[in-house]
Amino acid sequence: MVQKEVVLTDKAPAPLPFYSQAIKCQGMVYCSGSIGMDPVTNKVIEGGVADRTTQALNNLAAILEAAGSSIDNVVKVNVFLTNMENFAAMNKVYESFFSKNPKPVRTCVAVYQLPLGTDVEIELTAHLRPNSETNSANIQDAMRSTPNSRSSRGRAPTVGEGEEGFFVDQAMSRAELRRRQAEAALQRLQAAQDETWTETQLKITEENLGILMNAVSSIDAPPARSRSRAQSQSRSRAQFQSHGQKRSRGDSDAGNFRIAPDEDSRPLFKRLRSAIASTEEANNLVTRNPQPIQIHYEQQPLKDRDDNWFVGMFEKLFDQTSNFAEKFFLIHDLNSEDWYQPWAQKFSPEFLHWTRQVAEEDPSPGNGSWDDLLRDTTQRKYFVMAILVRIFHEMIFNIDLWGADPQQKELLLGIDRAFFNREGFARTALRSETVCSIVGRGPVTQYFYQEVATLTAQLFLLLKPLTDYLYAMAPPKGTVIPSIVDQYQALHDLVSNAAYLSICVRLSPTIFFWVDVTPGTYYDRDDHTFLDIRSWTQSKQNVVDFYNSQVLEHKNELAIAENVVKDLEAQGKGNTRRGRATRQRLVEIQTVAPKALIYEYRAMAKISVWPSIKRFKPGSAEDEKKEREDPGNKIPLYKKNGSREFEVSKGAIVVYYGKTNRRNDERRLSLAEFVRQKQKEWPVDAEGDLGLTMKTAIPVAVLAASVGYWVLGEQVKEKLGFDFGSAVEFVGDLMSRVR
- Please tell me the distance from the alpha carbon of residue 521 to that of residue 533, in angstroms, as a whole number: 17
Question: Is the domain of 358 the same as that of 426?
Answer: yes
Closest CA to 77 of 15, 121, 132: 121
Tally the domains of the chain.
3
What is the predicted pLDDT for the residue at 549?
84
H/E element, 74: strand 74-81
Per cent of the chain over pLDDT 70 is 68
pLDDT bucket at 464, cuts 50 / 70 / 90: very high
DSSP codes joined into one string, 635-662: PPGGG---EEEEEEE-EEEEEEEEES--
Question: Is the domain of 512 the same as that of 625?
Answer: yes
Q: Is position 296 within any domain?
A: no
Q: H/E/C letters for each residue in 75-97?
A: EEEEEEECCHHHHHHHHHHHHHH
- Please tell me the distance from the alpha carbon of residue 632 to that of residue 302, in angstroms, as a whole number: 9
Stretch 338-352: mean pLDDT, rounded?
84
Question: Is the domain of 629 the same as that of 575?
Answer: no
In this predicted model, which residue has the larger pLDDT, 629 or 169? 629
CA 192, 194, 198, 202: dihedral to nearest 10 degrees?
Answer: 40
Weakest-pLDDT range from 119-133, 254-268, 504-518: 254-268
Q: Is position 111 within any domain?
A: yes
Q: Is position 557 within any domain?
A: yes
| Rg of the chain (C-alpha set) | 30
Question: Is the domain of 458 the same as that of 593?
Answer: no
What is the predicted pLDDT for the residue at 232?
39
Backbone angles phi, psi at 334, to 5 degrees: -90, 5
Tell me: the pLDDT tens digits for 570-599? 888 878 888 888 888 888 888 877 777 777
User: Taking a C-beta distance cutoff of 8 angstroms, is the pair 295, 497 a contact?
Assistant: yes
H/E element, 23: strand 22-25
CATH code for the domain of 58:
3.30.1330.40
User: Taking a C-beta distance cutoff of 8 angstroms, is the pair 237, 489 a contact?
Assistant: yes
What is the predicted pLDDT for the residue at 542?
83
Mean pLDDT of the chain: 74
What is the predicted pLDDT for the residue at 475?
84
Question: Is the domain of 358 the same as that of 506?
Answer: yes
Q: Is position 630 within any domain?
A: yes
Question: Is the domain of 446 the same as that of 549?
Answer: no
pTM exceeds 0.85, yes or no: no
Q: Is position 616 within any domain?
A: yes
Question: Is the domain of 551 the same as that of 621?
Answer: no
Tell me: the pLDDT tens digits for 63-97? 999 999 999 999 999 999 999 989 999 999 999 99
Tell me: the pLDDT tens digits for 377-436? 899 999 999 999 999 999 999 999 999 999 998 999 888 888 877 778 888 888 888 999
- Please tell me the distance from the alpha carbon of residue 710 to that of residue 187, in angstroms, as a whole number: 9
Q: Is position 294 within any domain?
A: no
| DSSP conformation class of 393 | I
For 195, counting Cβ atoms within 10 Å of its Cβ (0-12 exposed, 13-18 middle, 19+ buried), the class is exposed
The separation between CA 130 and the C-alpha centre of its own chain, rounded to angstroms, equals 42
Question: Is the domain of 569 the same as that of 472?
Answer: no
pLDDT bucket at 706, cuts 50 / 70 / 90: very low
Going 678 to 683 to 688 to 691, the CA torsion angle's sign is negative
What is the predicted pLDDT for the residue at 367?
54
Q: Is position 330 within any domain?
A: yes
Three-state secondary-structure class, residue 387: helix
Tell me: the pLDDT tens digits for 638-673? 677 778 889 999 999 999 888 887 666 666 778 888
Give, rounded to a whole angstrom, the gap between the first and last alpha carbons of the chain.
54
Tell me: the pLDDT tens digits for 600-617? 888 999 999 999 999 998
What is the predicted pLDDT for the residue at 58?
94
* Most confident of the following: 142-146, 199-203, 391-395, 473-477: 391-395
Question: Is the domain of 617 the same as that of 592?
Answer: no
- Please tell me the distance from the alpha carbon of residue 451 to that of residue 409, in angstroms, as a whole number: 14
Question: Is the domain of 475 the same as that of 373?
Answer: yes
Strand ordering across the sheet containing 651-659? 528-531, 651-659, 601-610
Question: Is the domain of 636 the same as that of 568?
Answer: no
Question: Is the domain of 467 the same as that of 547?
Answer: no
Residue 520 has pLDDT above 70, yes or no: yes
Domain that holds residue 589: 537-601
- Please tell me the distance from the alpha carbon of residue 298 to that of residue 278, in angstroms, as a whole number: 32
User: Taking a C-beta distance cutoff of 8 angstroms, is the pair 704, 685 a contact?
Assistant: no
| DSSP strand pairing (528-531 vs 651-659) | parallel
Q: Is position 189 within any domain?
A: no
